[in-house]
Amino acid sequence: MQVFGKTQDNLWTLVAAPTIWGFHFLFSYFLAAYRCAPNDDIFNTIGGTRAAIAGVTAVCLLLILLIARRAWREWRADGGGYSNNQDTPEARERFLEFSTLLLAALSFAAVVFETLPVLVFWDCR
Amino acid sequence: MTRPGTIAAGLSGAVLTGCQGAQSAFDPAGVEAERVLTLFWIMLAGGTAIWIVVIGVSYYAARGKSGPYSDRSGIRLIVWGGCVFPAVVLAGLLWWGLTMMPELRRAADGPTIAVSAERFWWRVAYAVEGEPGVIRNLPRGGVPSANEIWIPLGKRTEILLSSPDVIHSFWVPPLAGKMDAIPGRVNRLVLEPTRPGVFNGACAEYCGTAHTYMGFRVVVVPEAEFEAYVASQALPAATTDGSGARLFVQNGCAACHTVRGTAADGDVGPDLTHVASRRTIAAGLLPTTVENFAAFIRSAEHIKPGVEMPAFGILPEEEITAIAQWLGKLE
């Protein structure tokens, strides 16, 4: 739906990036736990698991970047203000766009943090 | 010295005393404990620096400039001070902490010792068979002992940890960080001591009434001494006859305790074959003396509330003394 010549923001667009972050966390955590749960070959490398997490991470980061890009462009197109003290559709839109941008930045950093162990751990130790 | 000076000196003395000794993470005697201590000091310094900056900014905001800030400078402060700075600092700390872990958990080159944490003591078995990690339950066999773990100096000793009852945690602060002992799972902890000595260990996960009294000792000795110790622990008891040994079996102690070389082969409580060679009894609670053996037999619950062992105060005093004296000879 188009409003003010651009897409309309709502709660779903706001939580899209944190949802991807949540998915990434659960996916990485469960996959690594499932792979290492037998606790029986802790010195064997887990290349497949690491590659799967790396692949999912790349997709998640790309999606978050797309969300951030959309929010950034629409927020800037409107002048990029920070005050949202008016009871108008424009102010609401601007608030949602800026909040989406901030949440996307947070989610991006969080997904990167969650992926760092993949670079360090080669096995289940 | 002025009064505040005296108080400060007393306090710092008390604090510094707490930083040394057999149970202090500030007095490391192991590779992992040294790394953890370095990490702690860096974190403390960083935390202090950040605290000073935050207090400074608060002071400036409250007392310094009086006019309103522009949107631009406000956003700049939030972006750099609230987003970029913490993200970079946390990423650095995370990376540093993570890269420490594989090195600390690399394979052992020393003995493998199974430690079963049980309410409220530690079952120990030296020289157990089994590849590291290839098990869900602790391997059977080995040379049994309890509440005192000897490890060789300069070697990486693998401790296999599990529990038959609830979750416990194995912690020897001067040697390494904690590791949980979880029923149905075997966790491994590698200890690499850097100097000889006797160190205190404790259960670091609340496990019941006598949790506080679930201690143990770790004795770090040169490798040859370690080998000799394990060989001596594998031998049967030094004295297996006499009235003490007879009364021990007769009065039912044998139902729970093993003394190799006698009819006592119970598996509920600690193996007492060489109990007098250990520094403490009742899991790190009392020094090993004949009087303490007698006191514990008389009223275990009184000394260690929550212990499984019933009180044997009903026995005639001379029988308790005879058993205690016999236990005192089991080196």
Sheet strands side by side (includes B157-162): B143-146, B121-126, B112-118, B157-162, B187-191
Q: What domains are defined for chain B?
A: 112-225 (2.60.40.420), 243-327 (2.60.40.420)
Q: Which residues in A lie closer than 8 A to residue B68 (C-beta atoms)?
A: none
What residues of chain B lie within 8 A of the CB of A82, using their CB? 71, 75
Query: Are A43 and B90 within 8 A, CB to CB?
Result: no
- Decide: B99 and A120 in contact? Cβ < 8 Å: yes
Flag whether pLDDT at B17 surpasses 70. Answer: no
Q: What band does B133 get if pLDDT is binned at 50, 70 and 90? A: very low
Name the burial class of residue B16, with classes exposed (0-12), middle (13-18) and buried (19+) by CB atoms within 10 angstroms of its CB.
Answer: exposed
- Would you call B255 an interface residue with chain A, using a CB distance cutoff of 8 Å? no
Q: Hey, are the CB atoms on B95 and A116 less than 8 Å from each other?
A: yes
ipTM of the complex: 0.81
Q: What is the pLDDT of residue B11?
A: 57
C-alpha span between B259 and B187 (Å, rounded): 29
Instruction: Report the range of poorest mean pLDDT among A110-114, B134-138, B171-175, B181-185.
Output: B134-138
pLDDT at position B135, please? 52
CB–CB contact B132 A42 (8 Å): yes
* Confidence category of residue A1, pLDDT binned at 50, 70, 90: very low
Residue type, A25: F
Tokens of B145: 């002992």
Question: Backbone phi, then psi, for B235, in 5-degree steps?
Answer: -75, 160
Assess if residue A73 is contained within a domain.
yes
Domain that holds residue A50: 9-120
Quickly state the pLDDT bin for B181 (edges 50, 70, 90).
very high
Tell the residue number behind the tokens 């006019």, with chain if given: B67
Which tokens belong to A14?
């706001």
| A35 within domain boundaries | yes
Q: Given this model, what pLDDT does residue B282 score? A: 92
Q: What mean pLDDT do residues B215-231 have?
A: 96
B249 vs B61, more confident: B249
pLDDT of residue B254: 93
Please list every residue in chain A whose beta carbon sits closer than 8 Å to the beta carbon of residue B71.
82-83
Element at B179 (helix H, strand E) = strand B179-181
pLDDT at A44: 81
Q: Identify whether A4 is part of a domain.
A: no
For residue A119, what pLDDT is reported? 87
Q: Do the beta carbons of residue B216 and residue B116 sit within 8 Å?
A: no
Least confident window among A71-85, A96-110, B125-139, B181-195: B125-139
Whole-angstrom Cα distance, residue B188 to residue B211? 22
Over pLDDT 70: what percentage of chain B? 92
Cβ of A109 within 8 Å of Cβ of B186? The answer is no
Comparing B160 with B11, which gets the higher pLDDT? B160
- In this predicted structure, the answer to whether residue B217 has a pLDDT above a threshold of 90 is yes
- List C-alpha distances in Å: B182 to B8, B160, B161, B168, B198: 43, 11, 8, 7, 26
| CB contact B106 to A (< 8 Å) | yes
Segment A9-33, tens digit of pLDDT: 888 999 999 999 999 999 999 999 8
Show which residues on chain A lie within 8 Å of chain B, measured between beta carbons.
39-43, 82-83, 105, 109, 112-113, 116-117, 120-122, 124-125
Burial B21-40 (b: 16+ CB within 10 A, else e): ebbbbebbbbbbbbbbbeee
Residue A2: inside a domain: no
Using a pLDDT cut of 90, give the percent of chain B over it: 65
Site of tokens 């040994």: B245
Collect all residues of chain B within an 8 Å Cβ-Cβ radius of residue A39. 133, 135-136, 185-186
Whether A1 maps to a domain, the answer reads: no
The arithmetic mean of pLDDT across residues A79-102, rounded, is 84
Is residue A28 domain-resident? yes
**What is the per-residue pLDDT across B29-51, written as a single tens digit (0 to 9) for each?**
999 999 999 999 999 998 899 89
Mean pLDDT of A78-82: 75
Can you tell me the mean pLDDT for B98-118? 89
- Residue A51 within a domain: yes
Task: Say whether A109 and B87 touch across the interface (CB within 8 A).
Answer: yes
Report pLDDT digits (tens) over B313-326.
999 999 999 999 99
Enumerate the residues of chain B whose CB falls inside 8 A of the CB of residue A109. Answer: 87, 91
Q: How many C-beta neighbours within 10 Å does residue A30 have?
A: 11
Tell me how many domains chain A contains.
1
State the pLDDT at residue B29: 94
Alpha-carbon distance of B96 to B102, in angstroms, equals 11
CA-to-CA separations, B160 to A18, B20, B179, B230, B310, in angstroms, rounded = 39, 28, 10, 17, 30
DSSP string, B82-144: IIIHHHHHHHHHHHHHHHHHHHHTSPPSS-EEEEEEETTEEEEEES--S-TT--SSPPP-SEE
Mean pLDDT is lowest, of A64-78, B128-142, B189-203, for: B128-142
Q: Half-sphere exposure of residue B84, counting CA atoms within 13 Å on the CB side?
A: 7
**In the predicted model, what is the mean pLDDT of residues B205-222?**
95
Q: What is the pLDDT of residue A92?
A: 87
Domain membership flag for residue A95:
yes
Model pLDDT, residue A85 = 78
Q: Two tokens at B316?
A: 């005639």
**Interface touch A43/B133, C-beta < 8 Å:** yes
- Model confidence pLDDT, tens digit, residues B140-154: 788 999 999 999 999
B224 contact A CB<8A? no
- Cis bond leading into B120, ω under 30°? yes
